[in-house]
Amino acid sequence: MPHDVVFSPQAEELAELARKIADEYVRPLAARHDKEQTYNREAAQAVAEAGLFRTFIPEAYGGHGAGVLALARVTEELARADSGFGVAFAVNALGSFPIILGGTEEQKQRWLPQVAAGEKLVAFCLSEKFAGSDAQGLSVTAREDGDDYVICGEKKWTTNGGVADIYSVFCVTDPTSKSRRISAIVVEKGTPGFSVEKVEDKMGIRCVPVVETHFDNVRVPKSNLIGGRPGMGFKHAMMTLDCARPGVAAQAIGAAQGALDLAIAYSCRRKQFGKPISSHQMVQQMLADMAIKTNAGRWLVYAAAAGIDAGGGDKVSKMAAMAKCFATDTAMEVATDAVQVFGGYGFMEDYPVAKFFRDAKILQIYEGTNQVQRLVVARHLVREARELEHLDEFIPHEVQRTYAEAEQLVENLNT
Ligand SMILES: Cc1cc2nc3c(=O)[nH]c(=O)nc-3n(C[C@H](O)[C@H](O)[C@H](O)COP(=O)(O)OP(=O)(O)OC[C@H]3O[C@@H](n4cnc5c(N)ncnc54)[C@H](O)[C@@H]3O)c2cc1C
């Protein structure tokens, strides 16, 4: 493990608060909000009053400055009760990170204290209909006009769309540039020309709105350009995703634990062949594998989060990608097995285990699909291959390429 994982007392205190809110406001209302596709405002209010939105905001702007590891712990506890509410919370960090990591002092002062207080919710608008994994292929434009930018186009799948007040929107500001094509610009709810259109009818995470956001000549002052310099948007997006991925991974670990909790409880009560199914060895094997994978994922997530808190370094995106990929694959596997433990009851919407199963799938898709995470990991491995030069004498001469060739090949494949 590249970093020691140490939980601060503050992180534990915040996680404990999150657990209480999860028990009181999230789990009891999860089925209703899922069915009605409504946002859990009671829980969001409780999260705000408990100061949990302050977790990921630096102290200078009204936050706790508790770091990514604390954010992961809080998200995990909320998602353990309802994976959908887990993302409803965590997406505020995703949308705020471009400002936290790349914003000017004035921008941080302007927006972050309101986010910290839970007065304003945030959304992250990167994806478009024709630009998902290929985030360089954006088409929403922001044209300079005097002291303003004028934004035109549509974003797809904006989580928190409609309930959020602040939108970090990634736009093309220089179509002629390859490396500095994109900029991130803040659009506030209510700006003329900005609208929330199609609200998606989803398989899972139904309590949080995911929408299309439309920009019809939306005029915002240049002071809303994150960082104050155009062309930094792709960098801001990648930095944001590196920091946010332990959050989605923590959502997955919470969801896996939530499904496992149900499976254990059910297996100890359901009797078949005259004894609880938990005493049948094949059920025990499922429960044991679910617990092993969940815990392995949990510590990978904590290590990635601790790495970011320790100052990053060049291994952060590899660790974040590993954690996102493993934890979210784990959530899908564990939720599938939890349904299996429940047998026929697991297939029914009367019980929350079916919802954990439906909610799990999206984890493998958003914030970078798990195929893309594997590409990120592989790219790092090839880049780091020079560290293994001492093994050259054990590699047949006939197959040896230069490291530069191998690096170039993997770069070409992945771009
Ligand atoms: C419910 C939901 C909420 C979302 N929330 C947000 C949000 O808040 N903000 C936001 O900006 N976006 C959001 N998204 C978008 C999400 O991040 C994208 O769906 C995701 O990045 C994948 O893009 P795509 O759907 O266009 O799939 P595509 O990129 O078209 O991929 C389709 C398939 O091809 C694979 N693939 C693509 N390229 C490669 C490659 N080079 N090598 C191997 N396989 C590849 C993918 O892994 C996938 O399996 C959300 C999506 C959903 C469904």
The pLDDT score that the predictor gives to residue 413 is 55
Tell the residue nearest (CA) to atom 13 of ligand 1: 157
Residue of the CA atom closest to atom 4 of ligand 1 = 157
pLDDT digits (tens, 9 = 90+) for 301-358: 999 999 999 987 778 999 999 999 999 999 999 999 999 999 999 999 999 999 999 9
Ligand 1 centroid distance, CA of 120 (Å): 27
pLDDT reported for residue 405: 72
Distance from Cα 358 to the centre of ligand 1, integer Å: 17
The average pLDDT across 361-365 equals 98
Q: What is the pTM of this model?
A: 0.95
**pLDDT, tens digit (0-9, with 9 covering 90-100), for 47-72:** 999 999 999 999 999 999 999 999 99
HEC string for the chain: CCCCCCCCHHHHHHHHHHHHHHHHHHHHHHHHHHHHCCCCHHHHHHHHHCCHHHCCCCHHHCCCCCHHHHHHHHHHHHHHHCHHHHHHHHHHHHHHHHHHHHCCHHHHHHHHHHHHCCCCCEEEECCECCECCCHHHCCCEEEEECCEEEEEEEEEEEECCCCCCEEEEEEECCCCCCCCCEEEEEEECCCCCEEEEEECCCCCCCCCCEEEEEEEEEEEEHHHECCCCCCCHHHHHHHHHHHHHHHHHHHHHHHHHHHHHHHHHHHHHCEECCEEHHHCHHHHHHHHHHHHHHHHHHHHHHHHHHHHHCCCCCCHHHHHHHHHHHHHHHHHHHHHHHHHHHHHHHHCCCCHHHHHHHHHHHHCCCCCCHHHHHHHHHHHHHHHHHHHHHHHHHCCHHHCCCHHHHHHHHHHHHC
Question: What digits encode the pLDDT tens for the residues 170-224?
Answer: 999 999 998 899 999 999 999 999 999 999 999 999 999 999 999 999 999 999 9
Looking at per-residue pLDDT, the higher value among 126 and 399 belongs to 126
Residue range 113-134: mean pLDDT, rounded = 98
Percent of the chain with pLDDT over 70: 96
Mean pLDDT value of segment 102-109: 98
Look up 128 and say whether it is catalytic: no
Catalytic residue among 76, 77, 333, 367: 367
Residue 14, pLDDT score: 98
> What is the tens place of the pLDDT at every residue in 283-300?
999 999 999 999 999 999
> What domains lie within the chain, and their CATH numbers?
9-121 (1.10.540.10), 123-231 (2.40.110.10), 235-381 (1.20.140.10), 382-414 (no CATH)
Per-residue pLDDT reduced to its tens digit, 210-266:
999 999 999 999 999 999 999 999 999 999 999 999 999 999 999 999 999 999 999
pLDDT at 412: 64
Q: Which of 91, 122, 369 to mutate to test the pocket of ligand 1 (most atoms within 8 A of CB)?
A: 369
pLDDT band at residue 401, thresholds of 50, 70 and 90? low
What is the model's pLDDT at position 268? 98
Task: Give the percent of the chain with pLDDT over 90.
Answer: 88
**Residue 24 pLDDT more than 60?**
yes
Ligand 1 lining (C-beta closer than 6 Å): 91, 124-127, 132-133, 157-159, 202, 210, 362, 365-369, 371-372, 375
**pLDDT over 70 (residue 368):** yes
Question: What is the predicted pLDDT for the residue at 410?
Answer: 67
pLDDT number for residue 265: 98
